[in-house]
Amino acid sequence: MSDESILVRIAVLGGTGKEGKGLAYRWAKAGYRVLIGSRSSERAVTAASEIMELLEGSSSLVGTTNFEAAKQADIVVVTVPYSAHRETLESVKNVLKGKLLIDVTVPLVPPKLTKVQMPAAGSAAQEAKDILGDGVQVTAAFQNISHELLFDEDDINSDVLVTGTSKEARDETLTLVEAAGLTGWDAGPIENSVVVEGLASVLININKRYGSTHAGIKITGVHKKS
């Protein structure tokens, strides 16, 4: 990773949750400057401290509010539950113009988590695009990576599909996928996020049916160019 990449500031909104903390851990470990965002700054500070302990204090990681994290960051990652998706995006909308938003949200509707239930916009990522407008690039990624694997030091045998509003946005997201120690694939325009997000319910069903907690997906038959 270049020094220029490490200077990128990543805000993880909802970073006190399991998926958010796992991604923040991976990026901080890779050398990125990470901001943990939460509705409660106290919870964010606690989460940042917990991750710093795991990294033995060797990384740049700060806890603050969602708004302050989004304001200070170059790239913003949303990892909140779907029930808080719209509220979170609207609360930071004014500081996102010109930035990249990576949406990790899955539109799960309890109690039927094994049933695909997409919003009227088509997907959570498309909903984010509608809320934020044309001034923000939006990608969808990491929906099918179990949080249990993100703190594991072993290789993760599961791939990340990335959709988004432009090739440039998807490429930038794929850089962060690689930095997190994962294999990513350009899965095309943001409209394809309906498939990526929908797979989460399929994987939850497989976990439930076969007694697992971290079912994933793997792309086969394609070799990445070096």
Q: Total domain count for the chain?
A: 1
Q: Give per-residue pLDDT as tens, 158-208.
A: 999 999 999 999 999 999 999 999 999 999 999 999 999 999 999 999 999
Structural domain contains residue 180 = yes
Residue 219 located in a structural domain: no
**221 within a domain of the structure (yes/no):** no
pTM over 0.75: yes
| pLDDT confidence of residue 4 | 56
User: Is 102 within a domain?
Assistant: yes
pLDDT at 56: 84
Is 51 inside any structural domain?
A: yes
Residue 173 resides in a domain: yes
Any domain includes 222: no
Give the chain's residues under pLDDT 50.
1
pLDDT of residue 155: 82
In a domain, residue 154? The reply is: yes
3-state SS string over the chain?
CCHHHHCCEEEEECCCCHHHHHHHHHHHHCCCEEEEEECCHHHHHHHHHHHHHHCCCCCCEEEEEHHHHHHHCCEEEECCCHHHHHHHHHHHHHHCCCCEEEECCCCCCCCCCCCCCCCCCCCHHHHHHHHHCCCCEEEECCCCCCHHHHCCCCCCCCEEEEEECCHHHHHHHHHHHHHCCCEEEEEEEHHHHHHHHHHHHHHHHHHHHHCCCCCCCCCCCCCCCC
The CATH number linked to 85 is 3.40.50.720
- Domain with 154 in it: 3-210
